[in-house]
Amino acid sequence: MLLITVLGAAVSLHLLGWSRLPSAAADLTGPGPDAASIVSLKVDLPGRLVLGSGEGALYTIKLDREGGRLGVPEALERGGGEETMFIEVRQRDGGRWFRTNGWTIRLAPQPTWELSLASPDLTVDLRSLDVRSAEFSGSGSVLLGSRGEGMIVVVSGSVVVEVPADALVEVKGAATVPGGWETTSDGYRSTGQGTAIEISVTDGSRAVIKQR
């Protein structure tokens, strides 16, 4: 009975991410948010990927506590300061304590970001981030903001993209767009006059563009 109780408590604390358990040691915290003014981030994960803004560090990565087949994150960094910082996040084997079905990544709002994200289950919120370019591969949903001027987005797969209602959006390629958008020679254009966003949809992809 005591063994069952101890195991049950360990599982509960694992799910809560208690920092003293081995599973929490697999979480990553990057350098300070002022480590670079421009950051290029690449993540290719065969599992659930949640990404949004956060404070206190350039990036943080936390493992989902539900268990799964994925390993733990490993971040390879180069550059920084006055140069562009390049970060590639990949998974590595972490043993039986370090298995997960997805990661949650939080990015600092201070730098300008260039993103390349691939996942079969994307949930991305960029509304509080300054994003110059973003590439999304896989399936899921993306919320774009208005902080970055002249944002360039590439969509590969089945992705729902929400844009600000006042943004000037130009879509290149086949996509489902809101009513009233202008049809162009290679896609569609919104009637907004705000932040300029260019969305390119690769051949064979299914992109749905929504306004909010």
The pLDDT tens digits for 18-60 are 444 444 567 899 999 999 999 999 999 999 999 999 999 999 9
Tell me, what amino acid is at 118? A
DSSP 8-state class, residue 161: E
Same domain assignment for residues 112 and 165? no
Alpha-carbon distances, residue 96 vs 23, 65, 71 (angstroms): 9, 13, 9
Within a domain: residue 86?
A: yes
pLDDT per residue as tens digits for the range 120-168: 999 999 999 999 999 999 999 999 998 877 899 999 999 999 999 999 9
Domain count, the chain: 2
pLDDT at 4: 42
pLDDT at 21: 41
Same domain assignment for residues 100 and 151? no
Same domain assignment for residues 86 and 33? yes
Same domain assignment for residues 169 and 84? no
172, with CB counted inside 10 A (0-12, 13-18, 19+), is middle
Domain that residue 33 falls in: 1-117
pLDDT higher than threshold 70 for residue 107: yes
Same domain assignment for residues 36 and 103? yes
pLDDT per residue as tens digits for the range 59-96: 999 998 666 788 888 999 999 998 999 999 998 876 66
Same domain assignment for residues 82 and 5? yes
Confidence band (pLDDT; 50, 70, 90) for 1?
low
Asked if residue 115 lies in contact with residue 41, where contact means CB atoms within 8 angstroms, the answer is yes
Alpha-carbon distances, residue 151 vs 27, 55, 83, 183 (angstroms): 30, 23, 20, 20
In 3D space, the residue among 147, 207, 124 whose CA is nearest the CA of residue 171 turns out to be 207
Within a domain: residue 128?
A: no
Domain boundary among 117, 134, 167: 117
Same domain assignment for residues 103 and 150? no
Same domain assignment for residues 156 and 109? no
**Distance (Å, rounded) from C-alpha 144 to C-alpha 23?**
32
Confidence band (pLDDT; 50, 70, 90) for 5?
very low
**Distance (Å, rounded) from C-alpha 136 to C-alpha 191?**
24
